[in-house]
Structure 1
Amino acid sequence: MASQADAQLSFDLHPKQMTALESIATEILYGGAAGGGKSHLMRVAAVLWCAAIPGLQVYLFRRIKDDLIKNHVEGPNGFRSMLAGWVDCKFVSIVEDEIRFWNGSKIYLCHCKDEKDRFKYQGAEIHVLLIDELTHFTDVIYRFLRNRVRMVGITLPKQYEGKFPRIICGANPGGIGHQFVKTTFIDGVTPLKVYRAANSEGGMLRQYIPARLEDNPSMEESDPGYEARLQGLGSESLVSAMRYGDWDIIEGAFFDNFRKDRHVIRPFTIPKDWLRFRAGDWGSAKPFSFGWYAVVSEPFIAGPGILLPRGALVRYREYYGIAVDAQGKFIANKGLKMTAEKVGAQVRVRDGADTISYGVLDPAAFAQDGGPSLAERIAQGTTGSNGATFRRADNKRVTDRGAMGGWDQMRSRLDGDEDGRPMLYFFETCVHAIRTIPALQHDEARPEDLNSDMEDHAADEVRYACMSRPWIKQTIAAAPPKPKPGQIPLPPPPMPSTGKRISL
């Protein structure tokens, strides 16, 4: 028979974990680096709060069920081991995906692999939402689950008043949700600061608590080789992301050849004779994206050490329809719901004095549904004559039967010419393209394509631009033959001078 000693549970938490447990914030992102103690914090918090608050309902999520079981239920630190004494004393029972406490509290062990799976929790009343590896989820799933967080008819002990309902999420950089997590919790935020999120963002008290391996001494004691394995992950980007929680480094990105130091340049005065055009990707509930491009007509020095090759595309302006909250923060992947006429008028205004040779637009905008198409309405503008005209873009995404797809066109231009000079550049004022394109991930079911559940609107628009001017890297030509006796060799081409256009 179980003794009273068997019923005693003892938990050890480190300072950063205690900060999250005792915080007044009700929507917390904890972690950033691997080994920071995220999973242990969630298990301990779930057990402590269920024991202290009768009737509490805690929902603990991982995206994949197998990961949920292996990470949180089984093993020496899982719920079965952690609660073995209480199970023996009949204080707790573990039945399939539920942990039931003597006082009516429950921990529900949940998974939500795809966006359609979120509807399984339509009727849930979630008092505490714990999401392990938030970057494995889309913003659609997270917003839905956050909307189920509420608390009615639960009497809170005095020390917990005002701290529930509550959300704690753990995350590492990378994954399908990287961009929305970074935008929601990290960009422009002072770590550890507690602030009120806008009502459009749930209105909870939000906090980002960064945690690294050194914030979890238990890991270093129980597995002293863990840090060495992190350092041995291979690529610098993966080490930086997983060891140091660097949210600007994205391992496994679809465009892993995008680099700010190569492809993002300071604005300069574009020569008037360069051809200019625009591309667009329509969006209403999701953001729309329009970009303006100039085609380099001859080699051009755009800054110290920056030689733009002939035929390169320069995205020099953007118009991106993304919603912002009351604090002016971008709401990831949420559009402005503007009418096509207003968008068309604003595109035309942004043309300014530029001579736009042509425009390409998402082919879906040309669909007829009994009235004027979106493309026609964009062309009409708000007065019937101040809109922007476009032709259908080539929407091919992946290479098929020898025909190069749009993603390969983008990747090829990012890689650059035979001298390693990029053939696609972005002015640093194109903040949304620079923000979203590097974060895009591969589609798990079709690795040659990107995951379209992410904020891919700027990428689609750049793809249309690239497909409107297909480019193939030239092979390096053989060395010219030596002059025959009596021939005069041609002089070498002139060297470029800094800050001026050059001809080769």
Structure 2
Amino acid sequence: MPLGVETIWRPQYRANGTRGPQFALLACPYQEIFFGGARGGGKSSGMLGHWVAHAQKYGRHARGAFFRRRFTQLKEVQRQASELFPRLGATYGKAEKTWTFPNGATLYLGHLWDAQDADAYQGWALTWICMEEITQWPNLDAMNKLRGCLRSSEGVKCVLLATGNPGGPGHQAAKQRWVDPAPSGMRPITDPETGETRVFIPSRLEDNLALIRNDPGYERRLMALGNSQLVKAWRYGDWDCTFGGFIDDLWVPSRHVLKPFTIPPSWTYRRSFDWGSSRPSALLMWAISDGSPVREMGGFVFPRGSMILFSEWYTVAKDASGNVKPNEGLRLTNQALGHGIAERSRGRTWSGCVADPAIFTEMGRESIYAEIKKAAAEKGHVLNFGRANNDRIGGWQKMRDMIENAAEERPEKPGMWVFNTCINFLRTVPTLQRDESRPDDVDTDQEDHCGDAARYACNSVPKTVARGRFVTGG
């Protein structure tokens, strides 16, 4: 008879001798669990222990799948599994990528690049799914597709688990789903739409007594990472930090994020727009400095040509409790978008406005822009967007340049600032991640719509400025 899980694997105690989060993981009654936070918190070990408990309870009716975004990333999981599972009598079939236990339980180890890959698992009946390092996926689409595979006709209690650390392309999606509703964790979160309950179980280095004892230098190596944001994320599990992203080396919230102030009357206004339907649309409204001082900031002078994002309209869906559904649009019609832009543009004169060039294309019908412009005219507003310069690499570099200029204590070149009321820009842009294959670009699978709209604005700056007003230059 195989050894019991309690004799070959035990959940970790904390360094102070109290029970650590792995105990809570094994006892958790909820359908969806997010486990993790800091590096060294025992995530992989906890997942394997959880699976063994599930397999022993349900026997041949237990069917599990353990996913990473790349198969090579499963190497450490497979190493730990190879030390643990054979002691329970389990064998690994390399061709099937599956561990089979004497009682008939099976655990498949596979990679899942994106939601399209998830289609390959359509028809599978699984009782246990783990998505390890969930923040390596740019969104939760792949995970959500796999939900349809969680089912059992034998009464098995199905569970979906995810692990992760702060950072990565899916940082915001994970933070929004599991961390923001209960930042300290250990509190059930009831989904207002499905009624299902999920929970965040935080885990940090001090929760892994075995690692602390066996590798006492690990904490020093974490503290020596150099990047303070990286230390906050990996050592302390701080989900409010930004690192590893496209602008994290330049972004200083204390410099770039401003309390709203009265815009000087001689400044000008422009807009930039990124269209979306199933994904959000982003309308960004900018005040452009002509060098006039801002009284409410003690006479601070923004260099001439600086851009201050003072308002946004972001058409993102929300659940019944008012929480944002990351990267899910409201599916507004072009008429509704036109009306909305018109209503938010009243009372100001706009110039130098730009939009995604794709919306100007006519594909056997009136262009998206033409429909939006016609709808805006119904509200008495004349829309004047031009095609944005869509040079991605050049645009992101110009945006980085302006962010870098704004970080100076006394900036001398045009910079970019943001009012703290522009919550969707601040939620999505500072954590944008680089594209793995094109490091000078961002990963387009992320929630990048505010970023794209800002890039359009930076990359399509009018050629000249005269008398405090922009001249479009054609």
TM over 0.5: yes
What is the CA distance between 1:110 and its match in structure 2?
1.3
Return 210-219 or 450-459, whichever deviates more.
210-219
CA separation of 1:151 and 1:368: change in aligned 2, threshold 3 A = same
Measured in 2, the distance between the counterparts of 1:33 and 1:471 equals 47
Query: Which residue is equivalent to 2:17?
Result: none
CA separation of 1:267 and 1:72: change in aligned 2, threshold 3 A = same
CA separation of 1:25 and 1:208: change in aligned 2, threshold 3 A = same
| Structure 1 residue corresponding to 2:404, chosen from 404, 407, 415 | 415
CA separation of 1:106 and 1:45: change in aligned 2, threshold 3 A = same
CA separation of 1:101 and 1:84: change in aligned 2, threshold 3 A = closer
Query: Which residue is equivalent to 2:303?
Result: 309
Task: Please tell me whether residue 63 in structure 1 is matched to residue 63 in structure 2.
Answer: no
1:167-187 deviation line (CA, Å, top 9, x unaligned): 121100111111111111112
Q: For the Cα contact (< 8 Å) 1:316–1:427, is it kept in 2? A: yes
| Structure 1 residue corresponding to 2:418, chosen from 414, 417, 426 | 426
CA separation of 1:270 and 1:262: change in aligned 2, threshold 3 A = same
What is the CA distance between 1:471 and its match in structure 2?
9.2
Query: Which residue is equivalent to 1:126?
Result: 126
Q: For the Cα contact (< 8 Å) 1:290–1:320, is it kept in 2? A: yes
CA separation of 1:368 and 1:173: change in aligned 2, threshold 3 A = same
Give the AA of the match of 1:259: V
Residues 189-268 of structure 1 correspond to what in structure 2 (within 5 A)? 189-190=182-183, 191-199=185-193, 203-256=195-248, 257-268=250-261
Query: Which residue is equivalent to 1:458?
Result: 450
CA separation of 1:304 and 1:222: change in aligned 2, threshold 3 A = farther
Measured in 2, the distance between the counterparts of 1:383 and 1:104 equals 67
Q: For the Cα contact (< 8 Å) 2:4–2:88, is it kept in 1? A: yes
What is the CA distance between 1:442 and its match in structure 2?
0.7
* C-alpha RMSD over aligned residues: 2.3
For residue 94 of structure 1, give the secondary structure of its aligned residue in structure 2: strand
CA separation of 1:381 and 1:226: change in aligned 2, threshold 3 A = same
Task: Please tell me whether residue 46 in structure 1 is matched to residue 41 in structure 2.
Answer: no
Measured in 2, the distance between the counterparts of 1:65 and 1:35 equals 21
What is the CA distance between 1:358 and its match in structure 2?
3.9
Structure 1 stretches lacking a partner, 5+ long: 157-163, 399-404, 473-504
Query: Which residue is equivalent to 1:12?
Result: 10
- State, as a whole percentage, how many aligned pairs show the same letter: 33
What is the CA distance between 1:117 and its match in structure 2?
2.3
Query: Which residue is equivalent to 1:81?
Result: 83
For residue 220 of structure 1, give the secondary structure of its aligned residue in structure 2: helix
Measured in 1, the distance between the counterparts of 2:431 and 2:241 equals 9
For residue 430 of structure 2, give the secondary structure of its aligned residue in structure 1: helix
TM-score, reference length from structure 2: 0.89
Q: For the Cα contact (< 8 Å) 1:413–1:471, is it kept in 2? A: no
Q: For the Cα contact (< 8 Å) 2:351–2:384, is it kept in 1? A: no
What is the CA distance between 1:241 and its match in structure 2?
0.7
CA separation of 1:196 and 1:219: change in aligned 2, threshold 3 A = same
Task: Please tell me whether residue 440 in structure 1 is matched to residue 439 in structure 2.
Answer: no
Measured in 1, the distance between the counterparts of 2:115 and 2:372 equals 31
Q: For the Cα contact (< 8 Å) 1:193–1:207, is it kept in 2? A: yes
What is the CA distance between 1:102 and its match in structure 2?
2.5
1:122-155 deviation line (CA, Å, top 9, x unaligned): 2222211111111011325434444324223123
What is the CA distance between 1:113 and its match in structure 2?
2.8
CA separation of 1:385 and 1:358: change in aligned 2, threshold 3 A = farther
Query: Which residue is equivalent to 1:380?
Result: 374
Structure 2 stretches lacking a partner, 5+ long: 13-19, 465-474
| Structure 2 residue corresponding to 1:354, chosen from 348, 351, 354 | 348
Task: Please tell me whether residue 170 in structure 1 is matched to residue 163 in structure 2.
Answer: yes
Query: Which residue is equivalent to 1:36?
Result: 41
Query: Which runs of structure 1 show a deviation greater than 3 angstroms over 4 or more consecutive aligned residues?
Result: 3-9, 140-146, 304-307, 382-389, 417-420
Q: For the Cα contact (< 8 Å) 1:322–1:336, is it kept in 2? A: yes
CA separation of 1:72 and 1:410: change in aligned 2, threshold 3 A = same
CA separation of 1:429 and 1:6: change in aligned 2, threshold 3 A = closer
For residue 152 of structure 1, give the secondary structure of its aligned residue in structure 2: coil
Measured in 2, the distance between the counterparts of 1:63 and 1:327 equals 31
Measured in 2, the distance between the counterparts of 1:226 and 1:305 equals 49
